[in-house]
Structure 1
Amino acid sequence: MGRQAIAFSRVAAGVAAIVTALTGSVSCDTAAAATSSAGWVPDGSSAERAAASCWEIKQVVPTAPDGVYWLVTPTLVAPQQFYCDMSVDGGGWVLVGRGRDGWLSGGDGQGTVAQVHDHVWDQTGFKPRQLSDDVINGLLDGQAPSGLADGVRVVRAADRAGVTATDVRLKLTKMPRWSWAFSAGQPADARLYAASSQRDTAGRLSVSRTGVTTRDLDGGGNGNGSSNGMSRLWTYLSSTNGWVAGFNYGSSVAGTTAADTYLYSITGTYATPMTQVWLRPQLTTGQVAYPSVPDSGAAAQEQAPLAESGALPGTWGVAGLANGLTTELNTEAHAFAQIGNVMYVGGNFARVEEHAGRTPTGPATQTVPQSYLAAFDATTGDWIPGFRPVLDNQVNSLAALPDGRLAVGGQFGTVNGVSQPGLVELDPTTGETVTGWRIRIEDRIAGERVNVQTMDVQDGWLYLGGSFTHLTGGASTSTVYARKAARVKVGDATPDKAWNPDFNGKVQSIDASADGRRVYVSGYFTSSGSTSTMRVAILSTDPGAAVVPFAPRFSVATSPYQQAIHEAGPTLWVGGSEHSMFGYDTTTLEATSLNVTRSGGDIQAIADSADTVVYAGCHCGDWAFSGQQAYSFTVGDPNPTWAEAHAIGYIGAWDDATGASMPAFDPISKARGGYGAWALGVAADGTLWAGGSYTSVIARDGRDQWAGGFVRFAARPHTAPATPDGLTVRLTGQVAGLSWTASTADAVTYEVLRGGRVVATTTRTSVDVPDSAAGDRFFVRATDGHGNRSATTTVAVAQAEPAVVDLVAAGSTWSYRADGAAPAAGWQDATFDDSTWSTGAAPLGWGSPSIATNVDVASGQRPISTYYRRSFDVVDPSALTGLTLTTRADDGVIVYLNGREVARRNLRDGAIGPSTFATAAPRTSAAVADPLVVPLDATALVAGRNEVSVEVHVNFRSTKDVSMDLRLAAQSP
């Protein structure tokens, strides 16, 4: 490997840091017992021999050194290389993260798998690299981290040179899936081992703690008292160390900002050390269960259309606060709607800006006054200058209408210089008012003003929610009373006077169900007409807007307002205050997913991607606690009521079918006032648009990028590649040679499965798989590297190569005649008596150093023709699958099998005699280099004695060399 690495070995005196130089590739003792009929051992030395864990490698190869090994589990799917510590406590630890300052809490990790196993303990490795949640859960093969016997091992540098280290063992007590959100307070029991320079009476200093958390662990001093030294481990962000993220020490441990220090500190105290995080799953290949693949192959696998954590690059955005209000309800971007390839952004902004440098600071390179509503290219994010509506106040909602027009709702009173309170239809190209779509909205409650806060389109109706009481428009000649929620016909804006929910409080969000039977509403209200509807209501779409019985849950007893509501597939999602994001089965209306975000604020917007991934925006920037209903709990409680804790950064993602958090989406951004995301929209291409008070975001290229009100996140690849075809397999010894026809998709890697286990990956269309045996079942599929896998090929079964039997071996002894006379008739037959002929070993002839038997005459005239016979016995010809005759034409040759001619070269067609000259005169070396190879049918053989006869003719009597040798081989299954 050619890198410097460090392995921490616990010795009798304590936890000592031993610097080890590892050069070359890992060399493993493969003398351990084989684990398959083909004889392979899971020693981790190759992808094909990948082990289920570092621990398994140590069991089968006790002398295995620290280093990089191949691991695979059914959940990990394909073999990958990881760094294994084979020294500490018997070895078998896998490195899942390493680095100094700048650790992240999100599920996407940092860097690649290869980067994690590189520079495991040197200055180049100070920038943290962390395996993603998915990879770590793959290493665990679905086992709960809290079920690990050895827990999590956290090794931290104990001096500035990184020579000594401390060791913390965290036995997690509540973690069903891996989470890097240590700062959320993952409950644990702990044991702390001090640096090797410290001792206690047992030979090493150790401190035990039960009922602690990963948020702030105080290990105490030698007497187990309070400690602010190396026995403390805390992970939350704080001003005490300058907001540095890492596995920090206490205040008495000093650090510096020097580039080469293993103890980093901005403030000089609370040092953040170089750290390694290890796990020791004790999995073996025999224990894990790979899927069974039928002969017809396995189906394709596609990932959910989850957004990338890094934002798309962009230079355009919105800025300023046009109405002068700075509160969270008046953020810059508050609504999205897409028509064609245009994304419309509404909110409280005063202008559009371009920041060509993309940096978070610095002046705009272009500023254009454009308040409250603007249009942007849905693909590039660039501003579209032709759309220039003029409004006098904030836009809170947008809807794309079926006729291709844009419905705009909000707090405005005039549009394009004409009185048009609350709602207007605009031309999507110019922003001009559509005069044929006539609507007038009023709010006749004293102290209130018209505000269309939310809209949704379904089955020819435009549903409205907000603050209003009366509507006039379309074909309606009189005012229609509809308090806080209403619907109007999409075509002409005629209000439906038969559908009036009559809410007693403001509506914040409205969403009609996909089947057109229900309307979901959330807000500040407590009743619909005379029916109690505490903050959330489900209404029938039939005339009368009857309330559907529903008992929503709340995070606090006071039932605060609910900001967002959205149906996605089988789940109804409701979010709001206090910090709740709850999912309900749309059929039973029973709660299926309970989530509370802390710290920060309420859920403010909900959107979905293909009814698969659900996003929620909030002004929360720390953690999302799953399985938690009540808001009132202490972060860092060692006995929490929640089931899981994951990071959240203004937007979180959940699996719509299961309700489970999807922590792989972990954007990092900043927002004015910390208000976060108040609008979410998923574009036609799957890109997630998030709007609010955004000022900067980490882009997909790792840059800290300026953001003007909104940010965009592309959907991760989620389409399976095309399937490869034509798989063939040829078994030679214990090596299976596979080849196939390429997938039509670009830039794919092929995974080769033996049974249900991936044993090789390649970008080529052929591969050799060692340690294979007859009967092994192989499949091949294409993968794009993002978890999307094509269907596999149909099965190709390895068959043993037929055994090759030499009926007549090269160099055999032959009977021959070289006297110039023609042999008796029938000399080619098996019954011919050749007992008077001479005998000699092949090659027979003259003039070449390779000749074993010289048949040249001592004196006199050389013969033109020489004749050769060789008999052999066959017990059962039907047991042979084929014959191959290999000889040479030096100069001309005819071969007979059991009296029948089977091969001829360099002799004319038809009958020939002993005086017939060959038609060519190749040298012996040339004849050997160009052999005569003839496949024959095994039916030419008979049970018992068989005969091969050969006659060789020269091209001229004084030829310099002539020779004969022959091999007749058969295949036997």
Structure 2
Amino acid sequence: MALLAAASLITASASAADGDERTLTADTLATWQTDGIVWSIEYAGGVVYVGGTFDNVRPPGAGSGQQEVARKNFAAFDARTGRLLPCDPSFSGAGDTVRALKASQDGKVLYIGGSFGRAGHAEAFGAAALDTADCSLRKEFRPDVSSYVRAIDVTDGAVYLGGDFTSVNGKRRQRIAALTPNGSLLPFKARIDAPVRALSAAPRFGKIIVGGDFLEVNDEFEFKLVALHPATGKTVTSYPDWLPARSAVKALTRDATNFYVAAEGSGTGIFDGRIAGRLGSGKMVWKDTCLGATQALALHNGVLYSGSHAHDCRDTPGGFTEGNFRQHFLAQSVKNRRILHWFPDTDGGLGEGNGPRALEMAGGVLWAGGEFTTVNGRRQQSLTRFAAGPDRGAPQDPPRLRASSSGAGRITLTWRAAWDRDDARLKYLIYRDGRLVATPTRRSAEWRRPLMTYTDTVTPGSSHRYRIAVTDGENASPMSSALVVTAATTARTKGDR
């Protein structure tokens, strides 16, 4: 059968829809797992660091409780191979969790935040720092933070912490603070009335962008998003009407000109999507209206990747209407918010059932962590990763033929379109009696699988065996079973089904 040869004639598809930005593949790389939730991921110097609420990690493919290696809320992996590294300081006590990781700009220091009372064998209250060269904990950076640290960002001269706390080193600091790289408290100060969950420092623009649950900042209404002066903490930009009172900002990221906001709404139909804004002017660039509690963001080559449980994106270009499914990863064009054709998926998993909680690009590979227990329908707990290629995934739900015959020698084949996680346009290979006779193409998605037809002309009264397969240009589905059809002579008749 010439199936592979026929597939090879098709130009390898871009991973996104025709003309769109190119995405990563939806196929996962072999990745270690944890026995709990991953809340934060950071990349520095060829190493991926993972923080969360877990006691052990286990190899790719290992089931729960199998081949476990002790790692207390923190683990490190080779960014290229995914191999577990021996760097294993534990973070324990208090809330027993690591919530935030951020590397210094030179990659030499990793700042760690969460709710813990010990880092390694020493006391540490909510924040610590690791020398990445030798995986040793820095003795000089041990601030005493009164409650959760949920976000960290770093500039050349400051380490910004955001969270639930109201004091640092015995001094009043309401949900946000700035320290020197050696742990001394800086005069930066702002009054914020509820937890900070995300920080993005943009010193070139004179801003640190802050997101969270708050309604008031520096005694003014600031619904969940504000920009503060990086030295003083005074408000420099407000974002009125960007988010409703019942949404919270869960993540922030930025590129050279824009920043991007991930939101989670509380209640039915409350804003859950993503926003792009100008770093300089503070003006909104675009806003999508997808529902589904966005938790994490990452940028790569003009594409904004997000983790959520999206279930209604009807008003976003390239989106989908409410259905009986949840889509836990999305990719969007940073130019115009269009949803690109990249649809790997997880389950909701443990905890609150949100699936992905953290995203990080590491050397062209997207690492994703969270509370999920499956990825693309296969068992994989809390950690996975996606690369630019190779594309190994065959189209889903391969077609099954139906047939009818009407008119002299006319046979019409009908089938429902298949779909693919990272290719919108698929080619269908139709064989009559073992010979390829047609290669129609069609765009489709999991929620949009149109009916397709092909009409063949043969000798009236003759019988033929038809089979069909589908390819994305690199991978093909198995060939369908044969369907035997007898062509009508003159009168309209039903073919075999």
Give the drift of 1:585: 3.0
Counterparts of residues 246-395 of structure 1 (less than 5 Å): 304=21, 306-314=23-31, 316-320=32-36, 332-355=37-60, 358=61, 362=63, 365-392=66-93, 393-395=96-98
How many angstroms apart in 2 are the aligned matches of 1:429 and 1:366? 28
Given that 2:116 and 2:126 are in contact with CA atoms closer than 8 Å, whether structure 1 keeps it comes out as yes
User: Residue 496 of structure 1 aligns with which residue?
Assistant: 186
Q: 1:695 aligns with which of 348, 373, 376?
A: 373
After superposition, the Cα gap between the structure-2 partners of 1:390 and 1:586, relative to the gap in structure 1 and judged at 3 Å, is closer
Letter in 2 for 1:460: G
Secondary structure in structure 1 of the residue aligned to 2:43? strand
User: Residue 380 of structure 2 aligns with which residue?
Assistant: 707
After superposition, the Cα gap between the structure-2 partners of 1:568 and 1:131, relative to the gap in structure 1 and judged at 3 Å, is closer
Q: 1:512 aligns with which of 186, 198, 201?
A: 201
After superposition, the Cα gap between the structure-2 partners of 1:386 and 1:562, relative to the gap in structure 1 and judged at 3 Å, is closer
After superposition, the Cα gap between the structure-2 partners of 1:368 and 1:502, relative to the gap in structure 1 and judged at 3 Å, is same
User: Residue 538 of structure 1 aligns with which residue?
Assistant: 227
1:366-404 residue CA offsets vs partner (Å, 9 max, x unmatched)? 112222111111111121134343423100001112461
User: Residue 235 of structure 1 aligns with which residue?
Assistant: none
Secondary structure in structure 2 of the residue aligned to 1:615? strand
Given that 2:194 and 2:213 are in contact with CA atoms closer than 8 Å, whether structure 1 keeps it comes out as yes
User: Residue 415 of structure 1 aligns with which residue?
Assistant: 119
User: Which 5+ residue runs of structure 1 have no aligned equivalent?
Assistant: 4-80, 82-110, 117-129, 139-302, 321-331, 443-449, 473-478, 637-646, 699-703, 718-784, 787-973
User: Residue 161 of structure 2 aligns with which residue?
Assistant: 464
CA RMSD of aligned residues (A): 3.3
After superposition, the Cα gap between the structure-2 partners of 1:706 and 1:514, relative to the gap in structure 1 and judged at 3 Å, is farther
How many angstroms apart in 2 are the aligned matches of 1:527 and 1:350? 37
Letter in 2 for 1:707: Q
Give the drift of 1:634: 8.0
Are residue 677 (structure 1) and residue 356 (structure 2) matched? Answer: yes
How many angstroms apart in 2 are the aligned matches of 1:467 and 1:589? 26
Given that 1:387 and 1:430 are in contact with CA atoms closer than 8 Å, whether structure 2 keeps it comes out as no
After superposition, the Cα gap between the structure-2 partners of 1:626 and 1:308, relative to the gap in structure 1 and judged at 3 Å, is farther
After superposition, the Cα gap between the structure-2 partners of 1:112 and 1:373, relative to the gap in structure 1 and judged at 3 Å, is farther
Q: How many residues align?
A: 377
Give the drift of 1:567: 2.2
After superposition, the Cα gap between the structure-2 partners of 1:471 and 1:352, relative to the gap in structure 1 and judged at 3 Å, is same
Are residue 654 (structure 1) and residue 332 (structure 2) matched? Answer: yes
After superposition, the Cα gap between the structure-2 partners of 1:366 and 1:132, relative to the gap in structure 1 and judged at 3 Å, is closer
User: Residue 524 of structure 1 aligns with which residue?
Assistant: 213
User: Residue 178 of structure 2 aligns with which residue?
Assistant: 487
Give the drift of 1:572: 2.2
Secondary structure in structure 1 of the residue aligned to 2:92? coil
Secondary structure in structure 1 of the residue aligned to 2:30? coil
User: Residue 403 of structure 2 aligns with which residue?
Assistant: none
Letter in 1 for 2:26: S
Secondary structure in structure 2 of the residue aligned to 1:597? coil
Letter in 1 for 2:177: A
After superposition, the Cα gap between the structure-2 partners of 1:552 and 1:575, relative to the gap in structure 1 and judged at 3 Å, is farther
User: Residue 590 of structure 1 aligns with which residue?
Assistant: 283
How many angstroms apart in 2 are the aligned matches of 1:404 and 1:663? 35
Given that 1:605 and 1:678 are in contact with CA atoms closer than 8 Å, whether structure 2 keeps it comes out as yes
After superposition, the Cα gap between the structure-2 partners of 1:486 and 1:715, relative to the gap in structure 1 and judged at 3 Å, is farther
Counterparts of residues 886-901 of structure 1 (less than 5 Å): none
Given that 2:41 and 2:359 are in contact with CA atoms closer than 8 Å, whether structure 1 keeps it comes out as yes
Are residue 397 (structure 1) and residue 110 (structure 2) matched? Answer: no
Counterparts of residues 155-166 of structure 1 (less than 5 Å): none
Give the drift of 1:705: 4.5
Secondary structure in structure 1 of the residue aligned to 2:235? coil
Letter in 1 for 2:261: V
After superposition, the Cα gap between the structure-2 partners of 1:537 and 1:410, relative to the gap in structure 1 and judged at 3 Å, is same
Given that 1:113 and 1:131 are in contact with CA atoms closer than 8 Å, whether structure 2 keeps it comes out as no
User: Residue 818 of structure 1 aligns with which residue?
Assistant: none
1:434-482 residue CA offsets vs partner (Å, 9 max, x unmatched)? 112242222xxxxxxx11100011232111100112222xxxxxx4322
Secondary structure in structure 2 of the residue aligned to 1:439? coil
After superposition, the Cα gap between the structure-2 partners of 1:463 and 1:390, relative to the gap in structure 1 and judged at 3 Å, is closer
After superposition, the Cα gap between the structure-2 partners of 1:549 and 1:2, relative to the gap in structure 1 and judged at 3 Å, is closer
How many angstroms apart in 2 are the aligned matches of 1:504 and 1:689? 33
How many angstroms apart in 2 are the aligned matches of 1:502 and 1:623? 36
Letter in 1 for 2:48: M
After superposition, the Cα gap between the structure-2 partners of 1:438 and 1:422, relative to the gap in structure 1 and judged at 3 Å, is closer
Secondary structure in structure 2 of the residue aligned to 1:608? strand
How many angstroms apart in 1 are the aligned matches of 2:280 and 2:258? 9
Letter in 1 for 2:289: V
Q: 2:17 aligns with which of 91, 116, 134?
A: 134
How many angstroms apart in 1 are the aligned matches of 2:2 and 2:251? 55
User: Residue 263 of structure 1 aligns with which residue?
Assistant: none
Higher RCO structure, 1 or 2 (CA under 8 Å, sep 6+) = 2
Letter in 1 for 2:359: L
After superposition, the Cα gap between the structure-2 partners of 1:567 and 1:514, relative to the gap in structure 1 and judged at 3 Å, is farther
Give the drift of 1:566: 2.2
Secondary structure in structure 2 of the residue aligned to 1:463? strand
After superposition, the Cα gap between the structure-2 partners of 1:584 and 1:436, relative to the gap in structure 1 and judged at 3 Å, is closer
Are residue 436 (structure 1) and residue 140 (structure 2) matched? Answer: yes
Given that 1:595 and 1:625 are in contact with CA atoms closer than 8 Å, whether structure 2 keeps it comes out as no
Given that 2:58 and 2:69 are in contact with CA atoms closer than 8 Å, whether structure 1 keeps it comes out as yes
How many angstroms apart in 1 are the aligned matches of 2:116 and 2:304? 31
User: Which 5+ residue runs of structure 2 have no aligned equivalent?
Assistant: 266-271, 391-472, 475-497
1:542-594 residue CA offsets vs partner (Å, 9 max, x unmatched)? 4242331322423xx54422212222233221121221212223344333222
Runs of 4+ in 1 over 6 A off after TM superposition: 130-133
How many angstroms apart in 1 are the aligned matches of 2:328 and 2:388? 17
User: Residue 264 of structure 2 aligns with which residue?
Assistant: 577
Secondary structure in structure 2 of the residue aligned to 1:134? coil
Give identity over the alignment, percent: 24
Give the drift of 1:405: 2.1
1:576-632 residue CA offsets vs partner (Å, 9 max, x unmatched)? 12212122233443332222334xx3111122125x222221133x4534449xxxx
Given that 1:307 and 1:716 are in contact with CA atoms closer than 8 Å, whether structure 2 keeps it comes out as yes
Counterparts of residues 597-608 of structure 1 (less than 5 Å): 597-598=290-291, 601-608=292-299
Secondary structure in structure 2 of the residue aligned to 1:515? helix
Letter in 1 for 2:329: I
1:808-830 residue CA offsets vs partner (Å, 9 max, x unmatched)? xxxxxxxxxxxxxxxxxxxxxxx
How many angstroms apart in 1 are the aligned matches of 2:295 and 2:68? 29
Give the drift of 1:306: 2.8
Give the drift of 1:483: 0.8
How many angstroms apart in 2 are the aligned matches of 1:570 and 1:716? 28
Structure possessing the higher radius of gyration over alpha carbons: 1
User: Residue 829 of structure 1 aligns with which residue?
Assistant: none
1:124-151 residue CA offsets vs partner (Å, 9 max, x unmatched)? xxxxxx998624xx7xxxxxxxxxxxxx
1:926-969 residue CA offsets vs partner (Å, 9 max, x unmatched)? xxxxxxxxxxxxxxxxxxxxxxxxxxxxxxxxxxxxxxxxxxxx
1:156-215 residue CA offsets vs partner (Å, 9 max, x unmatched)? xxxxxxxxxxxxxxxxxxxxxxxxxxxxxxxxxxxxxxxxxxxxxxxxxxxxxxxxxxxx
Counterparts of residues 471-870 of structure 1 (less than 5 Å): 471-472=168-169, 479-490=170-181, 492-497=182-187, 499-513=188-202, 515=204, 517-554=206-243, 557-578=244-265, 579-598=272-291, 601-609=292-300, 612-620=302-310, 622-627=311-316, 635=322, 649-656=327-334, 658-673=335-350, 674-683=353-362, 685-698=363-376, 705-715=378-388
After superposition, the Cα gap between the structure-2 partners of 1:668 and 1:634, relative to the gap in structure 1 and judged at 3 Å, is closer
After superposition, the Cα gap between the structure-2 partners of 1:625 and 1:493, relative to the gap in structure 1 and judged at 3 Å, is farther
